[in-house]
A and B are shown apart, each in its own frame.
Chain A
Amino acid sequence: MSAITVENLGKRFFLKHEVQRSLKSTILNIFRGRTLKEEFWALRGVNFTVEKGQTLGVIGANGAGKSILLSLLAGTMKATEGSVRVEGKVSSLLELGAGFHPDLTGRENIYLNGAILGLSKNEIAKRFDSIVAFAELEEFIDTPVKHYSSGMYVRLGFAVAVEVDPDVLLIDEVLAVGDETFRKKCLAKIDSLQKQGKTLLIVSHDLETVKKISEQALLLDEGSLLEIGQPRNVVDKYIDLGIHKQEDLEVKEWGNRDAEIKDIVLMNRHGEEKQRFKNGEAIQIKINYDAHERIDNPIFGYSIADNDGKLIFGTNTQIAGVDIDFIEGKGSIILMLDPNILIRGKFYFSFSLHSSDHITNYHRKENWVYFWMEADNEEIGFVKFPAKWKF
């Protein structure tokens, strides 16, 4: 039996070209006979079902319609066309602590938030201790939540929401907050909810998590459903389409631009352009530059950072002992990572071009291009060490 049935779902908004709606401007526009309305479909023609007890991961770029879909499922928004059917009690884990009031204590907020999510006073009282224990807030439960750290806030929100004991739980990007320990705890809780046969719908930018915890994944792009099916395939498609830009690290760029790095091409050993690589596969990087004047003994450098911006490795032509006599005009230089020892995840390249004495910085661009690493085996981490076992 399906827990969620969505048929031909569409949600239309009217974009108004005023930032501020006000009575005066509205009246003026009525008098002028102008209707400054533009139709915009945030979601259209979406069909899918989720079987009872299954977990559906929803992915897509910002503005793809993920949150609108959740709002329609939660019932806070009305569909413009089509229909949404959800069997059983729905609870939303959308923006944790949405109903918290800063001046009330943790205890008061648990009762209020529980009531908002549909629990009776007795039901909350019964669960109170386990909520507090899960949130690890025994000491602070009678402190106003405005004195809580953001981590404590999130823990409390999560603890209340999962105690609602819903049939269908909607989870919006909550795994992105909180520290690693709490994240693990959340994932463990999600796992136990799955085992209890709850139906889950999870929106997340964390593609690895989506792959791991969901039976089905759904890819939204600009309001339409692009793909639904095996999480692995859907995530691959998402990456291939290159529409997952929202979570990129900030690109930073500086230098005097006497010489510029124009663009970067990522290829495999055979010169085929790619953005996804397998562990051990070579990555060939073509750096196209344009030197507006003659520069003697320039140094090209590169570095790799992980998804959090943490530097993994960096070097340059000087360290590697490659002498470049001079550059002038357009040209390119090849960097070959062979074999690349990264395992899985998303990584970013930064490039630099500077003088041999490191004083003049011609061009430096950080987190410019990214690529994805994949591995078929179960090894963890992001670097594969060439290790051997002896017994």
Chain B
Amino acid sequence: MRRIILEIYQRRELLKGLVVRNLKIRYKGSVLGFFWSLLDPLFMMFIYLLFIRIMRFSIDLPYLLSGIIVWQFFVMCVNDSLGAISGNTNLVKKIYFPRVILPLSQVLANLVNFLLSLAVLFVFLLFIRTDIQVAGLLILPVIVFLEAIFCLGLALAVSSISVYFRDAYHIVGVLLMAWFFMTPIIYPTSLVPERFFSLYLLNPLSSILIVFRGILFGTAMPGGPLLFVSLGFCVVLFAVGIVIFAKLEPYFADVL
């Protein structure tokens, strides 16, 4: 573990270069360029809003937009990680550098996107005059950090497994779809039956969203101490991701 961190530190220039590359190429050639990372969640919000109104739920905008932004960070990390190794065959086969830099650079690029989206969220909240709990802003970095390492853990696992099993592409697509509905993004947590709630919190993304909204908007934080356990899963999944990646990493060049 220390060796990996040291190696990453030694190659920080490369990491930085790849993060910048990932951000650059995502929007290169499009007219609105970087603004898309900000427009995407807004458009999604309007689509869901329309749908939700038709379904006659009541949901407020800050709740919905925060859900979309948190979800998007996660989903982009997972989708990008599918090709993190297998999409860079040439590099992996030809040149030695710590492979972990590839998924890491993608998660970091998405993190940059996420932080910018958060900025947009706050501008939006000011605009519609929502009350933000200032104390919550101090805890926010912890939540962002937990989501980031959760995403990184998952990205490490997915990127290395997908080198060996191409079916991962399809499986991930289906799982993400289910995951979307198992996370309180477009519906309030009050819809989740009480007896399933501890099961529901097995998904760290649920607790991340519950706490995220709780500390910012003062919405209810159901689950009590179970929330901490659920957030703890982020760390566990991060560790599992590292172990899987480390196990599979030496043979990437053999399989690709």
Contact = CB atoms under 8 A, between A and B. Distances in A.
A151 B250 CA distance: 34
A76 B94 contact: yes
A121 B13 contact: yes
B25 A103 contact: yes
A116 interface: yes
B133 interface: no
Contact of A115 (B13, B28, B90, B166): B13
B165 A95 contact: no
B216 interface: no
B31 interface: no
Contact of B90 (A23, A75, A99): A99
16 contacts: A20-B166, A22-B166, A22-B167, A23-B171, A76-B95, A76-B253, A95-B94, A98-B95, A101-B21, A103-B24, A103-B29, A112-B21, A116-B97, A117-B95, A120-B13, A121-B13
Nearest to B28: A103
Given A76-B95, A103-B28, A112-B18, 9 more contacts: A23-B165, A71-B253, A75-B96, A95-B90, A98-B95, A99-B90, A115-B11, A116-B17, A118-B97
Interface string A69-92: 001001111100000000000101
| Among all A-B residue pairs, the 10 with the closest Cβ atoms | A75-B96, A23-B167, A115-B17, A98-B90, A115-B14, A94-B94, A76-B253, A77-B253, A78-B250, A103-B28
B93 A116 contact: no
A258 to B, nearest CB: 51
Contacts of B16: 115
A83 B92 CA distance: 21
Interface of B: 11, 13-14, 16-18, 21, 24-25, 28-29, 90-97, 164-168, 171, 250-251, 253-254
Main secondary structure of the interface of B (DSSP, over half): helix
Interface string A169-208: 0000000000000000000000000000000000000000
A74 B95 CA distance: 7
A116 B94 CA distance: 11
Interface residues of A, number: 32
Given A101-B21, A103-B28, A78 B94 contact: no
A41 to B, nearest CB: 13
A78 B92 CA distance: 13
A111 B21 CA distance: 10
B12 to A, nearest CB: 9
A390 interface: no
Contact of A76 (B17, B18, B93): B93
Contacts of A115: 11, 13-14, 16-18
Contacts of B18: 112, 115
Nearest to A97: B90
Interface in A11-33: 13, 20-24, 26
A26 B165 contact: yes
A116 B92 CA distance: 11
A108 interface: yes
Interface in A98-152: 98-99, 101, 103-104, 108, 111-112, 115-121
A94 B21 contact: no
Interface in A37-79: 71, 74-78
A22 B18 CA distance: 30
B84 to A, nearest CB: 14
A146 to B, nearest CB: 10
Contacts of A118: 11, 14, 97
Of listed B11, B14, B95, residue having the most chain A CB within 10 A: B95
B13 A76 contact: no
Contacts of B167: 22-24
Nearest to A100: B90
Nearest to B255: A21
A104 B90 contact: no
A117 B14 CA distance: 9
Contacts of B254: 13, 77
A116 B25 contact: no
B91 A116 contact: yes
B144 to A, nearest CB: 27
Contacts of A101: 21, 25
